[in-house]
């Protein structure tokens, strides 16, 4: 007998494996229903935060990752946008073979100094 608590792969759900908070995490994504993962922490030079917005649209998934934080050099933030289609396959560890759509990084201290 199948365990009814486990969501079986179907047309309604797509299982996607991501690395989050130091562990493998399997998400059951539903079409057009975003999943938001968020974490923040303090460290000896300031603070850091990371947000991942993951959305399934039919047979594809977009993952937008935003990071922000401070260290001894000041504040730094970044944004990375990834795309994956089911036909692109997965790695030998089961992670999607993401394609980078765009990325950018901002060094707030360097901007303030005119660099």
Percentage, residues of the chain above pLDDT 70? 90
The mean pLDDT of 48-59, rounded to a whole number, is 95
9, pLDDT greater than 60: no
Residue 66 — φ and ψ, nearest 5°?
Answer: -120, 130
What pTM was estimated for this model as a whole? 0.82
Local confidence band at 13 (pLDDT 50, 70, 90 cut-offs)? confident
- 5 CB-near residues (< 8 Å, 6+ apart): none
* Structure tokens that stand for 71 in this block: 């260290």
pLDDT digits (tens, 9 = 90+) for 17-40: 999 988 999 999 999 999 999 999
DSSP state for residue 69 in the 8-state scheme: E
Name the residue ranges covered by the structural domains of the chain: 13-112
Dihedral angle, C-alpha 88, 27, 80, 71, nearest 10 °: -140
């Amino acid at each position: 007998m199948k365990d009814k608590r486990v969501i079986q792969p179907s047309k309604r759900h797509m299982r996607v494996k991501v690395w989050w908070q130091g562990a493998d995490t399997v998400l059951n994504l539903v079409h057009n229903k975003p999943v938001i993962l968020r974490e923040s922490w303090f460290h000896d030079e300031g603070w850091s935060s990371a947000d991942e917005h993951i959305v399934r649209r039919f047979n594809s998934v977009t993952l937008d990752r935003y990071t922000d934080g401070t260290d001894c050099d000041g504040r730094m933030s970044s944004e990375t946008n990834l795309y994956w289609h089911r036909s692109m396959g997965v790695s030998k560890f089961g992670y999607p073979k993401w394609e980078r759509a765009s990325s950018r990084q901002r060094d707030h201290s360097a901007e303030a100094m005119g660099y």
